[in-house]
Amino acid sequence: FQRTPLLAELAPTPRSIENHVKMMVVDEKYWVVGGTGMAEHLCTAGDKAPEPQPARIWSQRVVAKATRDMDVIGKGAAAQTLALEFFKLWAVFDYRVKGDPDAPLVNAYKALSPELPRAEVAVFDTSPDLVHTVACKVIVCGPEHPTNACTDAYIERLQGARRSVRLGQMNVNPGPELRQALYNLPESVHCDLITTGVEGNSPVTNHFFAWTNFRHYQPLLARGAATLYEYDVPGVLYHKKVMTVDERYTLLGSYNLSQKSDCSDYELLMEIDSRRTTQRVNDVLDRDTKLSREVSPQEVQERNKLRHRILAAVQRHLLGSFIV
C-alpha cells in the first residue's frame, strides 16, 4: 500500500498536486480505467436519487452521496502497460513522500511469470457487450512532464473532428490551448456537452466549482451547433470524464477538462479507436441526456450577469489549481 497525499506547492506557481489516477489491473490480463474511485458514494449507478440515510439527512442535501461515472473494462496487452505505469507512479510518490532529494527513484515492477495461472472472469469474457480486437492507447501525464499528453490527446481529436463531439464532463475549466480547440470546432461539427450545474436537483457542493462551466456555454452556442445539458438527478454528482469524436474515437479516464488536470495532477486516460465501442459509449451518453435538463440560450444569457462572471472568475483563476 502506498500513500499518495495531496501535495501543496507555492512556487513557481501555487497549486496542489495529487494522484488522480483511477485504474485497476488484475494478473496483467484484465484492466479497468475510468473515473470511478474506490469510495462508497463513487461506486454507484447514479441514475436515481440515493436512498435517504437518517444519519446523513443533512449531508445528503448538501454533499453528493452518489455519482454518475463511466469506466471501461478490457483484457489484453494494455494490462501490462498499465501495470508498468502503476509502478512508475508508485516510485514517484515513494520519492515525493520521503522527501529526500538524494534518494533514487526505485521502480519495483516485476513481470509476472508466464507459468503462473491467470484470473478467468466469465462475466467479462462472455458479456454480450464484449467487443473484440480494439485498438487502444494508454496516455499518462504528471506535473513533472514538460507537456501534458492527455491535454494534447484531447486537442488532437478536437482539431480532427469532422461531424460530432460529445463530452460528458464533471467540470469545464480547461487550459487555454484546449479551450481554443473546443471553441474553434468547425460549424459542421455538432457538440453535445453534459456537465454539472447549480440549478434544479444539483447538490449544493456543485457551487464550489460549477460556475466555471457557464463561462464556456456562450462560446459553444455561438458556433451555432451545440446542445448543452446539466445532469439533474437529485443528490447525484455527474463525475464523468469522457469524450467521443465522429462516432469512432473515445477518450476516457481520470482526466478532467480542468486546469488542475492540465497543470497539476497525475492522470491517466485510454484512447480507443473503435466504432462499436464508441457507439456503446454514445448510447450511455444518450441515457445521460434523458436524465439531464437542457440549458436554453436564454438561460445562458441570464447567467452572464456580473455576479455570475465574478464567481466564475474566482473559481477559474483562484480555485482552479487547487480544487478540481
pLDDT tens per residue across span 291-321 = 999 999 999 999 888 888 888 888 887 777 7
Q: Are 14 and 105 in contact (CB under 8 A)?
A: no
Q: What is the CATH number of domain 18-319?
A: 3.30.870.10
Confidence of residue 80 (pLDDT cuts 50, 70, 90): very high
Q: Distances in Å between the alpha carbon of 58 and those of 54, 145, 200, 243, 302?
A: 9, 42, 18, 34, 30
pLDDT, greater one: 10 or 190: 190
Average pLDDT, integer, range 152-175: 97
Half-sphere exposure of 27 (CA within 13 A, CB side): 12
| Cβ atoms of 244 and 250 closer than 8 Å | yes
Instruction: Quote the cell numbers at residue 96.
Output: 515525493
| Dihedral sign for Cα atoms in the order 45, 121, 119, 106 | negative
Say how far apart CA 169 and CA 231 lie, in whole Å: 10
pTM of the model: 0.93
d(CA 18, CA 143): 10
Which tens digit of pLDDT belongs to each residue from 184-208? Answer: 999 999 999 999 999 888 888 898 8
14-67 pLDDT, tens digit per residue, is 888 999 999 999 999 999 999 999 887 788 899 998 887 665 555 555 567 889
Cα gap 260→320, rounded to integer Å: 6
User: Can you tell me whether residue 240 is helix, strand or coil?
Assistant: coil
pLDDT by residue (tens digit) across 216-250?
Answer: 999 999 888 999 999 999 989 999 999 999 999 99
Taking each helix axis as running N to C, give the angle between helix 149-160 and helix 176-183, from 0 to 180 degrees, rounded to the nearest 10: 10
For 92-142, the pLDDT digits (tens) are 988 888 877 787 888 889 889 889 999 999 999 999 999 999 999 999 999
Under the banding of pLDDT at 50, 70 and 90, the label for residue 9 is: confident
Domain boundaries of the chain, sorted by first residue: 18-319
